[in-house]
Structure 1
């Protein structure tokens, strides 16, 4: 799963870079035409935002699945000293990641608004 997600991230990222580099010599005023052409009738610019966010999301899923596979391998096929060192290192890394996520989300009110709207949407469904 990790390799598939990584490959998808790389391919989509390269396609987006290529698409952007071929439009480098165009007039900046043409950007409004590009946005208008890629605006969905119902969803607006959300599909385009999802496409531009796919490489990052696939890379994150690739890292998560790789980490899970690595931990499973380390805890299944190793001795007790390896398990302890991997467990301690994993806990430190996980704590650091969670701390970074928390500090990034606390400073952004948009996340609170998004979660509130998501809760209302789910409740109304």
Structure 2
């Protein structure tokens, strides 16, 4: 007879599975870098199913093998997590962002450091997140799921903000006749359109795939990974909507400044200069402790 017909579902096995799930719940609650492959909502559902199986264990052993398959599948997932994290070994992985094969965190290449200056440090931020999700070529499904949800929300909000900037540029172009101001406004308009198009494409790509699947996530990261640059190319792609929106706003401010200094009164120019200086000063103070790709 084939599994699971030749295996009895005892109360000891169910108790062991219940303790596994309870330990996983406690670990996910007390640690933000848990190695558990399930989130708290999934663990709660697993615990509920285990409780129902305990109440029906006698009938399962007599007539139905389905409960045995449920228990075996749950235990298999926990066993695989222990295997990939070297559970019980001297160098076991205790945190999801802990590397077993290297002692130092990966340093980002000079290429992404230079490019991050032009893209407002966004590529380095995404590269750090990807490095924490895909440690030692092992994907953390929970962190990946949270990362994708955050990405989709960010891209949707960026596309919405880009439409506001786009409308502002259209109104600006209808009112201003200064050539230099119109030129920068045209550039701002095109970058806003780029944000909307790129954001929609990236969200669509994520929605077409099962982002809860660790296997598909691992395939994506493996395909986009480079022997030298790692996941930096993917980080740059993910950062483009934010960077384009920032450049769109920068060009719009420049266009507005050209209009102010080209036709406004001295009082208006002074007020604009003071407001702009305060904004730059606040941004500099906010970024004193933030350095790209550290």
Which structure shows the bigger proportion of residues in helix conformation? Answer: 1
The CA distance in 1 between the partners of 2:266 and 2:220, in whole Å, is: 58
For 1:51-90, what per-residue CA distance to the aligned partner results, in whole angstroms no more than 9, with x for missing partners? Answer: 1111111111111111111111111111112111111111
- Write the distance in 1 (CA, Å) between the matches of 2:233 and 2:282: 32
- Any unmatched runs of 5+ in structure 1? 112-125
The 5 A counterparts of 1:1-125 are 1-24=187-210, 27-40=213-226, 43-105=229-291, 110-111=293-294
Displacement of 1:46: 2.1
Structure 1 residues 25 and 45 mapped into 2: Cα distance closer, same or farther (>3 Å)?
closer
Determine helix, strand or coil for the equivalent of 1:63.
Answer: helix
- 5+ residue gaps in structure 2? 1-186
Aligned residue pairs: how many?
108
Q: Distance in 1 between matches of 2:233 and 2:290?
A: 25
CA distance, structure 2, for counterparts of residue 26 and residue 64 of structure 1: 37
* Structure with more relative contact order (C-alpha pairs < 8 Å, separation 6 or more): 1
Q: Structure 2 length as normaliser, TM-score?
A: 0.34
Q: Distance in 2 between matches of 1:50 and 1:76?
A: 37
Say which one has the larger Rg.
2
Q: Closer, same or farther in 2 for the Cα pair 1:45/1:63, shift >3 Å? A: same
Measure the CA separation in 2 of the matches of 1:104 and 1:44. 23
Q: How far 1:37 sits from its partner (Å)?
A: 2.2
Q: Counterpart of 1:102 in 2: which secondary structure? A: coil
